[in-house]
């Protein structure tokens, strides 16, 4: 059994997802989209501070662990003129593509960047043969919930006391992929 597990693990380690950096245009502004690098983490934490009013739900070491994780994951950044203004991340767990985080600077929200990042994660999930996307969101974060619902996510269940650092409940949401 261990032999089969190690063979499966080796397969996932070998199958590195290739993401081609590119530009997108929103409201006549040009943004670069690429995979997150370890050197981006400091700027990603700045985006977190902006979005979460000074808090950093994920630490530097948490991001670094994800970036070096041998299992399938995807972490993207969006930059404007070399300044990171958004990021998103996910990992594959069996047939579930779990979105670990997504954030867009408050000054750049409502430009469609969050929706674009969700679409990129969906492509990654489909290429990884996932059957659903899942995430948790703060009950107090109504803007994010609206974004997820517009994308097609549905509420699954309320997670009482899920966000202990801010004393907020969480909302588990899912998006069923076709096929």
Provide the annotated active-site residues.
Answer: 136, 148
Phi, psi of 54 (to 5 degrees): 95, -15
Structure tokens at 88: 């998103």
Terminal C-alpha separation, the chain: 29
CB 32 within 8 A of CB 79: yes
Count other C-beta atoms under 10 Å from residue 89's C-beta. 23
CA distances from residue 128 to 36, 91, 134, 151, 168 in whole angstroms, order as listed = 19, 10, 14, 20, 32
């Amino acid at each position: 059994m261990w032999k089969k597990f190690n063979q499966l693990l080796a397969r996932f380690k070998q199958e590195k997802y290739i993401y081609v950096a590119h530009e997108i245009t929103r409201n006549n502004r040009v943004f670069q989209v690429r995979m997150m690098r370890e050197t981006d983490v400091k700027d990603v934490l700045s985006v977190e501070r902006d979005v979460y009013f000074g808090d950093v739900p994920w630490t530097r070491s948490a991001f670094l662990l994800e970036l070096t994780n041998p299992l399938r994951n995807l972490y993207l950044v969006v930059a404007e003129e070399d300044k990171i203004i958004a990021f998103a991340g996910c990992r594959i767990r069996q047939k579930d593509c779990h979105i670990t985080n997504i954030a867009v600077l408050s000054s750049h929200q409502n430009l469609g960047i969050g929706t674009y990042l969700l679409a990129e994660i969906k492509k990654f999930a489909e290429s990884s043969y996932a059957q659903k996307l899942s995430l948790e969101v703060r009950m107090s974060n109504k803007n994010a919930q609206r974004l997820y619902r517009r994308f097609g996510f549905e509420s699954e269940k309320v997670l009482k006391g899920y966000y202990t650092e801010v004393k907020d409940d969480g909302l588990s949401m899912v998006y069923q992929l076709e096929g």
